[in-house]
Structures are given as C-alpha cells and as structure tokens.
Amino acid sequence: MGYQHILLVTDLLSDADAVALKAKRILAGSPEARLSVLHIVEDDMVRFGFELVPASSLSGDVDGEHWQEAREKLAQFLARNELQAVNSEVTSAISNSKGIVNYCRDHQVDLLIIGRHERHGIAAWLAKATADSILPNIPCDSLVVKLDQPFAE
C-alpha cells in the first residue's frame, strides 16, 4: 500500500527545489497519492490571556502585500518544479512546527516531506530547525531532506 496524502512543506528559499525533487520521486512511486503543498508565513501574534492568535486571523488581512507575495512565490515554485498539487496553501500559525503538525492531523497526511537547514553556533542553540521540532509530534511518516547550505536569511 502506497501513500495516499503527501504534504510538502516549503519555506520557498532558494534550495526548496531540492526538496521538491524528492517529493516528485516519491509521487512517481505512488501514483494514487494526492499532493498538498504548505507554506507558513511569519505573522504577528496577539495575546488573549494565555492564548496566542495570529494577527491576520483577527484582522482578516490575508490579502496584504506580504501574503500576495507568498502566494505568487508558491505558484512559481509549483510551476518551476512541475508539481500538481490538489491543495497549495499559504497560511499562518503560532509557530511553523505547530502549524505543520496541526495540518497533518487535520488533513490525514500520511507522509510529510520537509527540508532541514543546518544551523551552527548560536543559531543552533537559540532556534532549533523546524524539522527537529515537529518529528516527535508528527502523526505520520516523514522524509527530512538535508539541505547543504546552513540556514541564513
């Protein structure tokens, strides 16, 4: 039995195509699988008591310049990599890892494909890679693609 629902998570950085290539290889071996592609934008958080909520979900500002740019980049990423996704989504979340785990649970994903940048020095100490944060909590199989270049924006 092959995979039924594959989720490709992308940060849309320059090396994201390497992760897309791995997804294409998996999809070629699972022709019955459907592909979803997810990109999570960084969003300001608003605190309500003990709860954090993405500001865009309160203001409805999902059509602002930042969001439009992310949607355009995602469309270019899909076209450039010749990926046929049944669902491609730009969304916000309290954290990338929480957004990915919730998406997998809510959409019955059975394979997650994500890239992992190396982190060195203080960056490794301050902020773990998203892939490292989700692996203990992800409810499905995962393929973590090691990316050669250390994380830098």
Instruction: Provide the pLDDT for residue 65.
Output: 80
**What tokens were used for 68?**
């439009």
147 backbone φψ class: left, alpha, beta (φ>0; ψ -120 to 50)? beta
Nearest to 7 by CA among 132, 151, 144: 144
Residue found by looking up tokens 């390497």 in the block: 18
pLDDT score of 70 more than 80? yes
pLDDT digits (tens, 9 = 90+) for 76-122: 999 999 999 998 988 877 677 888 999 999 999 999 999 987 655 55
Whole-model pTM? Answer: 0.79
Instruction: Provide the pLDDT for residue 20.
Output: 96
**What are the structural domains, with CATH classification, of the chain?**
5-147 (3.40.50.620)
